[in-house]
A = this chain, B = another copy of it.
Amino acid sequence: MYRTHTCGELRLSDVNKQVTLAGWVQRSRKMGGMTFIDLRDRYGLTQLVFNEEVDASLCEQANRLGREFVIQVKGTVNERFSKNPNLPTGEIEIIVSELNVLNAALTPPFTIEDNTDGGDDIRMKYRYLDLRRSAVRKNLELRHKMTIEVRKYLDEQGFIEVETPILVGSTPEGARDFVVPSRMNPGQFYALPQSPQTLKQLLMVSGFDRYFQIAKCFRDEDLRADRQPEFTQIDCEMSFVEQDDIINLFEGMAKYLFKTIRGVELTEPFLRMPWAEAMKYYGSDKPDLRFGMKFVELMDIMKGHGFSVFDSAAYIGGICAEGAAHYTRKQLDQLTDFVKRPQIGAKGMVYARIEADGNVKSSVDKFYTQEVLQQMKEAFGAKPGDLILILSGEDAMKTRKQLCELRLEMGNQLGLRDKNKFALLWVVDFPMFEWSDEEGRLMAMHHPFTHPKEEDIPLLDTDPAAVRADAYDMVCNGIEVGGGSIRIHDAKLQAKMFEILGFTPERAQEQFGFLMNAFKYGAPPHGGLAYGLDRWVSIFAGLDSIRDCIAFPKNNSGRDVMLDAPGTLDQKQLDELNLVIDLKQE
């Protein structure tokens, strides 16, 4: 060992001990004949003291140390004259008697401080230096702690962690697969799993009863902000259960984690909101319930009064921002610009202030009598000082999604989205299918193995688009942290599902034959759920992005700029794989 103690552990009770420490030079200060160095390791900072009068050459040596040099020192623990109450080791310092430079260091390209001067690109390139910053390292410590607690909870609930393979077969439904050419099987490819979905279902057929895995998953998608080509799921599956059993067990896990990791007691059962209600009242299948501003529909009240925009609308709805009547014309114009941005796509916004006397002053006063406006006010339950914001459109669902964006923006502007407040709920009763304009067919909203709600099964033949699924998402603060479903365990129902999804029996057999065949040998009723670990850690860590809870993330082009990967292959490697690169297809 190069040390007797870490840089985070010495206290007043250690005074006069002879110790050896090792770590990185965080900073150094020269004051008169004294040199002070903060020595850093993962565990903390300890102040080192060199006195020119006591040992001039040692002090001279210390003065030559640069930032981030790796050193080992021997010395005596001493009580500090001016204590630092912000530091656990702030009551002591080390009077150094011996100094060994273990490794010199170039000056880092950015400062290794919580508030660094490094931009995103340079920090990604030198990720190994960025990870020295305690602000980043703490996220990974939290991630470690969370996985320890997740495993503890699930182990105690009788779950077995089973590793499923990374080199699997390609599955066409869902996102694009990453593929791996097989040298031993020329012309053939493995795929990397988008999730262990089918394998965990096979484990249920095997009678594993309760499975989990903290599993790497891979999707070759065009990366939107805050997506990673590889990500981690807490993947779970249970047999002989119904939806309630799964929801209860994993609600228990969420509460356990909030308590052990964040010290937050969530005592109430989580709200369970049907998908249709979430869309109707929040325009989102992952509503942020840290604040209100529930949508109010205004078709009955506002339609047919000569305001052509509303008169032709398929949907008119709004939100009431409490106490925001002070918004200036400029602020309201900015909100209008916000909803008109192409990413949101509204045509305009109507607003109305509730004045001190209860009168409503709106941007469409010339079309509406105060009586109608008062009816509107009642619909919102609005009070003097409140601000009502209204959107309309020809497509109800699209307009609701626009209104959702406006609601979230207002939540941000009014400071209602506190990172230390947690609003969890389950969204349930998802539609089984959604129409894809691109594919010209119904697609599985979750995946093709999702069980329809028992009472909706007859609709599969008559009105498949109306079928609801035994599917559920856990939502925290407007973010989907996990989701799952009861699976189909009946081979006939599964075959019908593939038929609705436009698979020929041959193609279904080719792609999912192994699963459908397995089901013929005695599949139990089963269901499960998967949490996005990266996302969940980021919520616990109070981060906006998942990137900083991943040790070595990739950028938006899927590159690891530190490793400079991906890269080119030798011709020999390509030959062994029977591959030719043909960039002309670009």
Residues of B within 8 A of A69 (CB): 522
Q: When the two chains form the complex, which single residue of B103, B170, B567, B577 contacts A169, counting CB atoms closer than 8 Å?
A: B567
Closest beta carbon of chain B to A470's beta carbon, Å: 14
A256 within 8 Å of B by Cβ?
A: no
Residues of B within 8 A of A141 (CB): 160
Closest beta carbon of chain B to A509's beta carbon, Å: 11
**CB nearest to A580 among chain B residues:** B580
Residues of B within 8 A of A245 (CB): 1
**CB nearest to A584 among chain B residues:** B578
Q: Mark A152-167, 1 if CB is under 8 A from B, else 0.
A: 0001000011111111
Residues of B within 8 A of A564 (CB): 169, 514
Between-chain CB contacts (< 8 Å), 24 pairs: A1-B242, A3-B240, A22-B240, A23-B207, A103-B490, A105-B520, A128-B205, A129-B521, A140-B162, A140-B208, A141-B160, A143-B163, A148-B151, A163-B232, A166-B218, A167-B565, A167-B566, A168-B560, A169-B564, A176-B183, A184-B558, A189-B569, A575-B585, A578-B586
Whether the pair B489, A103 counts as a contact (CB closer than 8 A) is: yes
A411 within 8 Å of B by Cβ?
A: no
Whether the pair B168, A521 counts as a contact (CB closer than 8 A) is: no
Q: Which of A72, A181, A207, A583 has the most CB of B within 10 A?
A: A207
A496 within 8 Å of B by Cβ?
A: no
**CB nearest to A199 among chain B residues:** B552
A305 within 8 Å of B by Cβ?
A: no
Whether the pair A518, B128 counts as a contact (CB closer than 8 A) is: yes
Closest beta carbon of chain B to A384's beta carbon, Å: 53
Whether the pair A563, B169 counts as a contact (CB closer than 8 A) is: yes
A186 within 8 Å of B by Cβ?
A: yes
**CB nearest to A129 among chain B residues:** B521
Chain A 210-236 residues near chain B, CB threshold 8 A = 210, 216, 218, 220, 222-223, 229-230, 232
Residues of B within 8 A of A70 (CB): 522-524
Closest beta carbon of chain B to A423's beta carbon, Å: 28
In the complex, A413 Cα to B354 Cα: how many Å? 95
**CB nearest to A533 among chain B residues:** B163
Whether the pair B207, A42 counts as a contact (CB closer than 8 A) is: yes
In the complex, A254 Cα to B519 Cα: how many Å? 41
Residues of A at the B interface (CB closer than 8 Å) are 1-3, 6, 22-24, 40-43, 68-70, 72, 102-106, 108, 126-129, 131-132, 137, 140-141, 143-144, 147-148, 151, 155, 160-170, 176-192, 199, 202-203, 205-210, 216, 218, 220, 222-223, 229-230, 232, 240-242, 245, 489-490, 514, 518-525, 550-552, 554, 557-560, 562-569, 573, 575-583, 585-586
In the complex, A524 Cα to B22 Cα: how many Å? 9
Q: When the two chains form the complex, which single residue of B203, B563, B585 contacts A578, counting CB atoms closer than 8 Å?
A: B585
Whether the pair A207, B167 counts as a contact (CB closer than 8 A) is: no
The 7 closest A-B pairs by CB, nearest first: A105-B522, A169-B565, A131-B206, A2-B240, A188-B566, A182-B566, A68-B522
Q: Which of A164, A167, A241, A568 has the most CB of B within 10 A?
A: A167
In the complex, A148 Cα to B514 Cα: how many Å? 31
Residues of B within 8 A of A582 (CB): 578-580
In the complex, A216 Cα to B168 Cα: how many Å? 14
Whether the pair A525, B2 counts as a contact (CB closer than 8 A) is: yes
In the complex, A332 Cα to B170 Cα: how many Å? 54
In the complex, A176 Cα to B490 Cα: how many Å? 43
Whether the pair B163, A551 counts as a contact (CB closer than 8 A) is: yes
In the complex, A583 Cα to B188 Cα: how many Å? 11
Closest beta carbon of chain B to A20's beta carbon, Å: 10
Whether the pair A209, B42 counts as a contact (CB closer than 8 A) is: yes
Residues of B within 8 A of A131 (CB): 203, 206-208
Whether the pair B566, A164 counts as a contact (CB closer than 8 A) is: no
Q: When the two chains form the complex, which single residue of B24, B42, B180, B222 contacts A192, counting CB atoms closer than 8 Å?
A: B180
Residues of B within 8 A of A189 (CB): 566-569
Given contacts A102-B525, A103-B523, A129-B205, 14 further A-B contacts (CB under 8 A): A2-B525, A42-B210, A68-B521, A103-B522, A137-B206, A151-B151, A164-B552, A165-B230, A167-B554, A169-B566, A170-B565, A179-B180, A179-B573, A180-B566
